[in-house]
Amino acid sequence: MMIEKQPGLKFRYSFPDFLYYSAMLAIPVVTALTAVLDRSGTAVLVYLLVLLGSVPVMLRFFCTHCPHYCREENTLKCIFFWGLPKFFRQRPGPLGVMEKSLSIAAPALVILFPVYWLVQTPGLFIIYLLSLFIFGASVRKNECPRCIYTDCPANRAQQQ
């Protein structure tokens, strides 16, 4: 019988961690951009604005609570944002209802926006769905059980 060991908590991320998850997330983003661009250049610009607009929303309402954001360093070093300056003040502790809502709404908008164009190209839609699933499953399996952000709603780390 094989017993899975709980890996230790991940107190620091490395640049290769960031590159790995960025490359993995690039697959659904490029797939979506390809599908949208095939039908509408204007919609690609709107989608790029949605993508870029979601970053400050996530940083402000979700990331500012995270221990990786709350370090004394001037730039972020996490698996999703590397080298960005910390624009917002740190706010350690649990997220409020509004913060949780906006932290869900921003990525949901990014994910749902291109679906109209993706369903028109079923092959790209399948790649999009599979790549999103693989990205989410990888984060959930590899990062959530080791996460030091104990107030994160997705945290699966065993309390030590």
| Segments of the chain scoring below 70 in pLDDT | 1-7, 157, 159-160
pLDDT at 6 (0 to 100):
47
Q: What angle do CA 85, 144, 139 make, to 5 degrees?
A: 75
**Distance (Å, rounded) from C-alpha 59 to C-alpha 138?**
21
**Contact assessment for residue 24 and residue 143, using Cβ atoms and an 8 Å cutoff:** no
What pLDDT, on the 0 to 100 scale, is given for residue 7?
58
Which pLDDT score is estimated for 154? Answer: 79
Across 73-96, b (16+ Cβ under 10 Å) vs e yields eeebbbbbbbebebeeeebeeebe
**Residue extents of the structural domains in the chain:** 15-146
Q: What is the pLDDT of residue 107?
A: 94
Global pTM value: 0.86
pLDDT of residue 155: 77
Question: Are the CB atoms for 155 and 149 separated by under 8 Å?
Answer: yes
